[in-house]
Structure 1
Amino acid sequence: MTSHLAQLNVGRLRYDVGDPRMAEFVDNLALVNGLAERSPGFVWRYQDDSGSAIDTRPFDGDPRMAINLSVWDSVESLERFVWQTWHKRFYGQRHEWFERMDERYFVMWWVSAGHRPTVQEAIERLHHLQQHGPSDHAFGWESVPSAKLWKAARCA
């Protein structure tokens, strides 16, 4: 059976979603999500009623925790979207909108083609990575030898 790559990225917003200092981030979510959806290799992304995931509160209801959960057909497809599209510029501004996190905030794992991970499943994978380090169950860019672009951005 074919495998796809799932990814979860979490972050704590510096300000409430309605704060004017978050406007550029919030106003561009549809653009970035649309870019992802049109990117080669994109399979699926989690959406709540907002059309993004901005209203989802999986971390004890914390209104400033944001998530992004998506599935791609390969590591290469995700890597191209993250580091070779307008998303890279958006990512470069993350410190304007997100607090610095001391623990891992990004995780990838393989899923069967057609599987749509739940938010809870994704959070469990992230917690596994945080507690046990990279494995076949949950990993970051550093576990994918073919992935090179992330190193320039110094993320894990």
Structure 2
Amino acid sequence: MPHLALYTFGVLKAPLADPAPLAREFYDSGASVYRQISQHPGYLAHAEAAEGGRGSHFDLDWGAWGEFAVPAWYGKGRTVETIALAATLSLWTDLRPAFDAIYTGVHREALNRRYDWFERAAHPNYVFWWVSDGVTPTWQDGVSTLERLHDHGPAPHAFTFHHAFAPDGTPTRTKGIGPKSDQAR
């Protein structure tokens, strides 16, 4: 059975190393967000750096998730002192569990504050695509898929909650998500 890959990317207003309260607040909230999401039904895994993750995203060993990569439009720093981004890569069983995890609890609280922490962008900040069972998507897969979504719009290989596709490539809707939220999947 295919799994749903999710890549998220945002450019922060300040580097992660910035001692200002807003930067610290964002950075410190990450542990509780990941802890709650990882316990959510339908969650399978997310990219984690090996051996405690010391260094910048670009220097870390991400194992099967591959070398860390960012979209072409990211133009800020790449060192521990200057990096100003937040990116995630995760696997889910389906759209509904991902939606429920993202739009409830501490992650929802964080989403409500996103414009305190993140720059507003003309680019999409997340993308989904289906992967075969046993496949671990890489950071480069996520970047390429997000850029494809930006350049060409939603399609079976790069989509959003509002314009979703089933594993077989047919358009789909999940009850409560998207323009025709009254339709059940």
| TM, length-normalised to structure 2 | 0.73
Amino acid at match of 1:64: A
Do structure 1's residue 141 and structure 2's residue 161 form an aligned pair? yes
In structure 2, what is the Cα distance between the partners aligned to 1:26 and 1:150? 30
Contact residue 7 and residue 109 of structure 1 kept, 8 A: yes
What corresponds to 1:14 in structure 2? 13
Displacement of 1:55 in angstroms is: 3.4
Contact residue 79 and residue 147 of structure 1 kept, 8 A: no
Picking from 89, 104, 108, the partner of 2:109 is 89
Mapping 1:114-153, distance limit 5 Å: 114-144=134-164, 145-146=173-174, 148-149=176-177
SS state of the match for residue 30, structure 1?
helix
SS state of the match for residue 131, structure 1?
helix
Q: Which has the larger radius of gyration?
A: 2
Amino acid at match of 1:92: N
Displacement of 1:84 in angstroms is: 2.3
What corresponds to 1:5 in structure 2? 4
Change (3 A) 1:103 1:50: farther
What corresponds to 2:44 in structure 1? 43
Contact residue 5 and residue 75 of structure 1 kept, 8 A: yes
Q: Deviations over 1:45-73 (max 9, x none)?
A: 01125868x93242376421221111111
Count of aligned pairs between the two proteins: 149
Which deviates the most, 72-81 or 84-93? 84-93
Contact residue 128 and residue 158 of structure 2 kept, 8 A: yes
Q: Deviations over 1:114-148 (max 9, x none)?
A: 22111001101111111111101100111132153
Displacement of 1:103 in angstroms is: 1.4
Contact residue 15 and residue 85 of structure 2 kept, 8 A: no
SS state of the match for residue 32, structure 2?
helix
In structure 2, what is the Cα distance between the partners aligned to 1:51 and 1:34? 16
Change (3 A) 1:55 1:106: same
Contact residue 2 and residue 130 of structure 2 kept, 8 A: yes
SS state of the match for residue 28, structure 2?
helix
Amino acid at match of 1:83: Y
Task: Please identify runs of 4+ aligned residues in structure 1 that moved more than 6 A.
Answer: none
Q: Deviations over 1:15-71 (max 9, x none)?
A: 01122221111111111111111111110101125868x932423764212211111
Q: Unaligned 5+ residue runs, structure 1?
A: 152-156
| Cα-Cα RMSD | 2.2
| TM, length-normalised to structure 1 | 0.86
Contact residue 44 and residue 91 of structure 2 kept, 8 A: yes
In structure 1, what is the Cα distance between the partners aligned to 2:84 and 2:38? 25
Change (3 A) 1:86 1:66: closer
